[in-house]
Chain A
Amino acid sequence: MSTATFTRERSGWALPRFMTAEHPFPWLAPITVMLLVFGIYPLAYSVWLSFHKRNVVSRQLDFAGFHQWARAFSDTRMWDALETTLIYTFIALAVQLALGILIALLLDTDRKGYGILRALMTLPLVVPPAVTGMMFLLMQDGSFGVLSFYLYALNLISPAQPILTQPVTALLAILLADIWQWTPFMVLIILAGLRALPKEPFEAAAIDGASGIQTFLRLTLPMLRKVIAVAVLIRGVDLFRIYDYVYIISAGGPGTATETLSFYAGRIYFTGDFPYAATLSLIVLVVLIGVSNLFVRLFKVRF
Chain B
Amino acid sequence: MEPSRAQMIARDLLAVLVVAIFMFPIAWWALSSIKPYSAIFDRSGPVYIGFKPTPDNYRVTLLGVSRVDIGMEQGGEAAGVIKGGASSYDSRQSLLASAIIAVGSTALTLVLATLAAYCLSRMQFSGQQSFLFWILSQRFMPPIAIVIPIVFMFRDLGLRDTYTGLILVHSLINLPLAVLLLKSFFDDVPREVDEAALIDGATRWQTFGRVVLPMVKGGVAATAVLCFIFSWTEFLLSLFLTTSIRTVPVKISTFVTSTATEWGYITALGTSAIIPSFIFILLVQRHLVRGLTLGSLKE
Residues of A within 8 A of B148 (CB): 42, 45-46, 49, 269, 274, 277-278, 281
Contact B232 A128 (CB under 8 A): yes
Q: Are B293 and A131 in contact (CB under 8 A)?
A: no
- The complex places the Cα of A5 from the Cα of B146 at a distance, in Å, of 44
Residue tally, chain A, CB below 8 Å to B: 96
Is A122 a contact partner of B285 (Cβ separation < 8 A)?
A: yes
Pick the residue among A128, A134, A230 that contacts B294 (CB under 8 A): A230
By the criterion CB–CB under 8 Å, are B136 and A303 in contact?
yes
Specify which chain A residues have a CB less than 8 angstroms from the CB of B205 in the assembled complex: 21
- State the main secondary structure of chain A at its contact with B: helix
A-B contact pairs, 13 of them (CB 8 A): A30-B111, A39-B172, A42-B149, A46-B149, A120-B22, A127-B26, A131-B249, A143-B43, A192-B289, A193-B297, A196-B297, A281-B148, A303-B183
Q: Closest CB-CB distance, B291 to chain A, in whole Å?
A: 8
Partner of B142, one of A21, A136, A243, A302: A243
CB of B116 within 8 A of CB of A119, answer no
**Does B119 belong to the interface (CB within 8 Å)?**
yes
CB of A130 within 8 Å of the partner chain: yes
Of the listed stretches B10-18, B51-59, B75-83, chain A binds B10-18
In the bound assembly, the distance between CA atoms of A184 and B45 in angstroms comes to 29
Given contacts A42-B149, A241-B140, 7 further A-B contacts (CB under 8 A): A2-B201, A30-B115, A39-B141, A127-B26, A131-B252, A134-B270, A277-B144
Size class of the contact patch on chain B? 35 or more
Interface, chain A (partner B; CB < 8 A) = 1-2, 5, 20-22, 24, 27-28, 30-31, 34-35, 38-39, 41-43, 45-46, 49, 103, 106-107, 109, 111, 113-114, 117-132, 134-136, 138-139, 143-144, 146, 149, 180, 183-185, 188-189, 191-193, 195-196, 206, 226-227, 229-230, 234, 237, 241, 243-244, 247-248, 261-262, 265-266, 269, 274, 277-278, 281-282, 284-285, 288-289, 292-293, 296, 301-303
Given the contacts A138-B267, A278-B145, A144 and B40 also touching, CB distance less than 8 Å: yes
Contacts of A278 in B (CB 8 A): 145, 148-149
Selecting from B64-72, B85-93, B212-220, B275-283, the interface stretch reads B275-283
CB neighbours (8 Å) of A144 from chain B are 40-43
Do B140 and A285 touch across chains, with their CB atoms under 8 A apart? yes
Q: Which 5 A-B pairs have the closest CB atoms?
A: A281-B145, A27-B119, A21-B204, A128-B233, A126-B277
Instruction: Given A128-B232, A136-B25, answer yes or no on A292-B140 (Cβ-Cβ < 8 Å).
Output: yes
